[in-house]
């Protein structure tokens, strides 16, 4: 008889805020959000600009403040709100410690973001106990060792475990026994089901479906007409069937940086400077992960919200600052117009490898210079030295390429 899978979904409670409270315990119990780039306390003047809430404490959520809410709206809803600036480097460092705890129980850890992951602990029973036991131990360790609260869902599949982890936040533990998946999901609203986006929910409501159980019982032909090929997989998940495996992170598909500006860019020189800065940051990430890029991607959003994406193939895969920057700036020149709200630079068609440099060429000298700059920044800090573009190493947001770092780490040589 096959062993039932045991899947955990661990979700750190208000993670960014929890990280901040570790070093600002006097704010515990107050409505706090992490958003924007400046600290603000009630009674102080504050200009939220285009900032959005990245994370909100549960005290702030009582006022309707949620992540992705414009900060200006959050401040109107809760005038007593304490706003703390984003410090993604701090959160990423704590996240690595969290994932190190996860790997004490299983190598099968799939990050969803810096603050959540799926764990397949099916093979860990003999050494660490069953799923609920491991979940309890992880909660206790994260709390006692790192001071971070989390909620955990335990089930036989990823879909049900994720829904379960969200039901009793904060510090919740919800276990769905094998065979009870459909019964557990049935009374919950459609919006709780992973993969059921706003458009899908709207169409399902036209068929009379309000709960996950309603979706599970819909006629196949009606579902096909409403959602097309996406209907059957969504209905299977609504019935508690999700065979997808827990997959540790591997080679990323792309690495990117983007930035939304408080004031629209109206100068081509300023736009080129920003593109150059982001290209250097992307190149640094490539080198840190031992990767080369085959394409460079530019994303640009204008003040009227038109968004363009352009890409170009490189003559040879590279991770050099100047080569990526040159290609990105050429893409910008082809589409530039005043009034830029957002810029992004990415690297695609990634492969593992290093810059070829057997003989002294301009490229090999550039590679050695890039590597020397990387070593200086690693030893003395990201802002130690730059190529004159400022703010090169400061990380202001998390990107999905961070997730690869949360996977299994190589063992040091003895």
The residues carrying an active-site annotation are 116
End-to-end CA distance of the chain: 42
Residue 321, both tokens: 């600052």
Token pair of 25 as six digits: 């315990």
- How far apart (Å, rounded) are the C-alpha atoms in residues 128 and 316? 48
Distance CA(302)–CA(305), nearest Å, equals: 5
CB atoms under 10 Å from CB of 2, counted, come to: 4
Both tokens assigned to 198: 């706003």
Q: Which of 245, 322, 251, 246 is nearest to 283 (CA)?
A: 322
Cα separation values, 397 from 71, 72, 91, 305, 312, Å: 16, 20, 10, 21, 25
- Residue 20: exposure state from Cβ atoms within 10 A (0-12, 13-18, ≥19): buried
């Amino acid at each position: 008889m096959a062993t039932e899978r045991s899947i955990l979904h661990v979700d750190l409670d208000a993670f960014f805020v929890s990280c901040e409270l570790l070093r600002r315990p006097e704010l515990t119990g107050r409505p706090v959000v992490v958003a924007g780039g400046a600290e603000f306390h009630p009674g102080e003047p504050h200009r939220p600009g285009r900032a959005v809430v990245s994370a909100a404490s549960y005290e702030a959520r009582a006022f309707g403040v949620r992540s992705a809410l414009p900060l200006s709206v959050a401040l109107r809803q809760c005038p007593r709100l304490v706003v703390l600036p984003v410090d993604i480097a701090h959160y990423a460092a704590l996240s690595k410690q969290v994932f190190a705890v996860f790997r004490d129980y299983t190598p099968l850890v799939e990050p969803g973001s810096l603050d959540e992951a799926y764990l397949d602990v099916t093979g860990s029973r003999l050494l660490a106990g069953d799923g609920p036991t491991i979940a309890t131990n992880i909660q206790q360790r994260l709390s006692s060792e790192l001071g971070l609260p989390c909620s955990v869902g335990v089930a036989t599949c990823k879909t049900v475990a994720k829904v379960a982890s969200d039901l009793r936040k904060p510090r919740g533990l919800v276990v769905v026994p094998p065979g009870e998946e459909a019964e557990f999901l049935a009374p919950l609203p459609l919006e709780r089901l992973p993969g059921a986006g706003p458009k899908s929910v709207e169409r399902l409501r036209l068929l009379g479906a309000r709960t996950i159980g309603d979706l599970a019982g819909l006629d196949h032909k009606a579902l096909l007409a409403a959602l097309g090929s996406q209907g059957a997989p969504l209905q299977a998940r609504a019935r508690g069937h999700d065979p997808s495996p827990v997959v540790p992170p591997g080679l990323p598909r792309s690495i990117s940086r983007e930035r939304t500006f408080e004031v629209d860019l109206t100068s081509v020189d300023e736009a080129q400077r920003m593109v150059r800065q982001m290209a250097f940051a992307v190149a640094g990430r490539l080198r840190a992960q031992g990767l080369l890029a085959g394409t460079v991607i530019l994303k640009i959003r204008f003040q009227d919200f038109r968004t363009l994406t352009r890409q170009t193939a490189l003559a040879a895969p590279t991770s050099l600052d100047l080569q990526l920057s040159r290609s990105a700036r050429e893409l910008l020149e082809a589409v530039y117009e005043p009034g830029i709200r957002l810029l992004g630079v990415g690297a695609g068609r990634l492969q593992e490898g290093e810059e070829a440099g057997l003989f002294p060429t301009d490229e090999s000298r550039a590679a050695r210079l890039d590597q020397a700059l990387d070593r200086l920044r690693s030893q003395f800090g990201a802002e130690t030295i730059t190529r004159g573009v400022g703010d090169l190493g400061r990380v202001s947001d998390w990107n999905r390429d961070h997730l690869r770092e949360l996977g299994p780490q190589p063992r040091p040589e003895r």
